[in-house]
Structure 1
Amino acid sequence: MVGVRDRVQSGIRQQKIDHSGKPVKSQNSMKYSKIILLGGDGFIGKQLAFTLANRGYAITVPCRRPHRNKALQVHPGISVIEADIFDPAMLEKLCQNQDAMVNLVGILHERKRNDFRKIHVDFIKTLVSACSRNNIKRLLHLSALGADQATGTSRYLRSKGEGENLLHTFGQKDLQVTSFQPSVVFGKNDQFINRFAGILKFSPWFFPLACPQSKLAPVYVGDLVEKIADAVEDKSTFSQRYTVCGPEEFTLRQLVELIISSMGSSCRVIPLGNGMSKLQAMILQHLPGKMFTMDNYNSLQTPNICEEGENCSSSLRQYIQGIGVMFGNKKNYDRFRQQLPR
């Protein structure tokens, strides 16, 4: 079995395949060779920027703090530009001479009231206008599993659903839209596994867990970005909405207990009932960092699993065992390495 490092080195050496084994296309063979990637400086965005650039696309990543994204800047296929994408005039200028757009912009917590609507709905109208004025005909959009304008259980999910609907409505004539609805996404530097691990380091004896029976099917960031990259030129994905999940389903309690085990901790999960879960959210949403809010609580009332859709193969269980050393459990990490194919 060829490792990721071997595939990367092979791709660099031959300039014919990328790190995942996908062929690198010449720009002459691409209809959408120049792509503006909104949210390209985030956790998912950085992975996607490298994946697309390694396939031969010319990627533009606008962001407010380019100096924080030096890893992106050293790639010859990625241009990092200092810009405020929420300024309509600036966004329109950024879209000049681009063939396609990928929108990964989104927030999980509101700093101010109506931030969900501003980011997930109003901004959609702005970027569609920018595409129209610059003759961009292709747009790929990252939504969220459970997003639904009418039936979403939280303001987050309803706003994501409304924005997604707007894109597909506007895209019926002039813009070929594909949207992806992933479950929670894990990987290096994620804000999901790492957040729980960080909290658990300060909870040596017990951990009161809200919504312990909420269901999740976490998807690996590498699998998600491959699916997005595969769709860029694929006409069969036009006007489609794809749910994306990992191969395993967990309750939130099972997932947290898996993290605890990988840390080598003896911490015990204390599952909270509905009333105490709400109380925890009401308290924590007023603390710095907003670790857990009432809107998060409402989102967790919707199972974050795929009844059907694009299921990915990478195992969260194996991933967590493999990074046990990061959580301070080198024994688990060494055992995991021994199981890897040579």
Structure 2
Amino acid sequence: MTVNNLPPLVTVFGGSGFVGRHVVRTLVKRGYRVRVAVRRPDLAGFLLPAGYVGQISLVQANLRYRQSIDRAVEGAAHVVNCVGILFESGRNTFDAIQDTGARSIAEAAAKAGAKFTHISAIGADANSGSSYARSKGRAEASILSLIPDAVILRPSIVFGPEDNFFNRFAAMARQLPALPLIGGGKTKLQPVYVEDVAEVVGRSVDGTLTPGTTYELGGAEVMTFRDCLETVLRVTCRDRALISLPFGIASTIGSIASMIPFVKPPVTADQVELLKSDNVVSENAIKEGRTLCGLGIRPVVPGSILASYLVHFRPQGQFTGSGKAA
């Protein structure tokens, strides 16, 4: 569909974030006009060179102010919600951003008659013990009640150059003599490459995914938490001990660290709660083809990408010889 011979307009909420910036670039390559809705447009200018002049526009939108959401959605053929937080801070709580905020975006999209794609997370559950997972689960239910043909995407841990998982533990390994194996490091994860997630969003906007369906996006390998930390140490050439930390102790440490002003804790009590459950694609999703492989996408293997952006965590950066550890 085109308007006045112009390509369709897609509004991407959270388009300057880790996943959002890759989504924007994917949509631009497909020829869409993209309106990036963010709280600080002045900090999102780095996205503009990804498209031709005028293809990408920036607009201010705050999920706590409905009028700004309506303005951002006006005239859009499709709306993509990439907004998500890993830490609560001030008024930016899981409920405010990932539940109420997502519902507000869906309401605006429904009012405008736009199609809708929402990025959630594997483990989203309105009855979860994790505040993060509860907010994600409630948002999914609200979105589908408002827009039954919405597409929900549930990625596992997303990795890529700006991720907050492998980068975080690589930074910890640079500063600390040991890394924590929370819960013994047995939790299973299925890290998925950010570009693979963005490709699925692109296909959703193209209209090639099944409306009203929830897709689970897991990567090429199922890795335990221990596997992930060992991979970080191998890629960054760091020799660090891995110390098993029971969930209870890890949760207490996370709670205390979260109370320190202006400091992002290495792990929060809520993240510890999430690690009590495996974060992998379900058997039902595999059988029903609601996965990357089911969509004909070959997932990128973490080992083929991690060194490209974790290299600066090595003792001498790119000049660290293979096999050397510090």
Which amino acid counterpart does residue 119 of structure 1 have in structure 2? I
Which amino acid counterpart does residue 40 of structure 1 have in structure 2? G
Q: CA offsets, 1:104-149, max 9 Å, x none?
A: 112122224882112122223322321233232x000000101011
Q: 1:314 & 1:216 partners in 2: Cα distance?
A: 15
Contact 2:159 2:193 in 1 (8 A): yes
**Structure 2 match to 1:19:** none
SS in 2 for 1:167: helix
Contact 1:206 1:270 in 2 (8 A): yes
Aligned-pair identity in percent equals: 27
Distance 1:332 1:316, change over 3 A: farther
**Structure 1 match to 2:72:** 94
Distance 1:333 1:87, change over 3 A: farther
Residue 147 in 1 paired to residue 120 in 2? no
1:293 to 268, 271, 281: 268
Contact 1:325 1:333 in 2 (8 A): no
**Structure 1 match to 2:8:** 33
1:156 to 102, 112, 132: 132
Distance 1:128 1:206, change over 3 A: closer
- Which segment is superposed worse, 225-234 or 266-275? 266-275
Q: 1:271 & 1:217 partners in 2: Cα distance?
A: 21
SS in 2 for 1:271: strand
Deviation at 1:189, TM superposition (A): 1.2
SS in 2 for 1:291: coil
Deviation at 1:90, TM superposition (A): 1.8
Q: 2:273 & 2:141 partners in 1: Cα distance?
A: 21
Q: 2:7 & 2:209 partners in 1: Cα distance?
A: 15
**Structure 2 match to 1:167:** 143
Deviation at 1:236, TM superposition (A): 4.4
Q: CA offsets, 1:177-230, max 9 Å, x none?
A: 000000010001111111111111101x32233232121100000111001101
Contact 1:262 1:320 in 2 (8 A): yes
Q: 1:98 & 1:159 partners in 2: Cα distance?
A: 26
Q: 1:69 & 1:88 partners in 2: Cα distance?
A: 21
Which amino acid counterpart does residue 317 of structure 1 have in structure 2? G
Q: 1:304 & 1:243 partners in 2: Cα distance?
A: 10
Which amino acid counterpart does residue 220 of structure 2 have in structure 1? P
Which amino acid counterpart does residue 314 of structure 1 have in structure 2? V
CA RMSD of aligned residues (A): 2.5
Contact 1:124 1:163 in 2 (8 A): yes
SS in 2 for 1:270: strand
Which amino acid counterpart does residue 97 of structure 1 have in structure 2? G
Q: 1:170 & 1:313 partners in 2: Cα distance?
A: 32
Distance 1:72 1:265, change over 3 A: same
Matches within 5 A, 1:267-286: 267-286=240-259
Q: 1:190 & 1:108 partners in 2: Cα distance?
A: 11
Matches within 5 A, 1:152-301: 152-172=128-148, 176-203=149-176, 205-211=177-183, 212-234=185-207, 236-287=209-260, 288-301=263-276
Contact 2:117 2:151 in 1 (8 A): yes
Contact 1:63 1:83 in 2 (8 A): yes
Distance 1:161 1:285, change over 3 A: same
Contact 1:323 1:333 in 2 (8 A): no
Contact 2:63 2:97 in 1 (8 A): no
SS in 2 for 1:201: helix
Q: 1:46 & 1:32 partners in 2: Cα distance?
A: 20
**Structure 2 match to 1:50:** 25
**Structure 2 match to 1:59:** 34
Q: 1:189 & 1:322 partners in 2: Cα distance?
A: 12
- What residue ranges of structure 1 are gaps of 5+ in the alignment? 1-25, 336-342
Q: CA offsets, 1:3-26, max 9 Å, x none?
A: xxxxxxxxxxxxxxxxxxxxxxx9
Contact 1:72 1:80 in 2 (8 A): no
Distance 1:37 1:330, change over 3 A: same
Q: Give TM-score, length-normalised by structure 2.
A: 0.85
Q: 1:225 & 1:130 partners in 2: Cα distance?
A: 23
- What residue ranges of structure 2 are gaps of 5+ in the alignment? 293-297
SS in 1 for 2:123: coil
Distance 1:324 1:156, change over 3 A: closer
Distance 1:249 1:32, change over 3 A: farther
Q: 2:199 & 2:110 partners in 1: Cα distance?
A: 27
Which amino acid counterpart does residue 167 of structure 1 have in structure 2? I
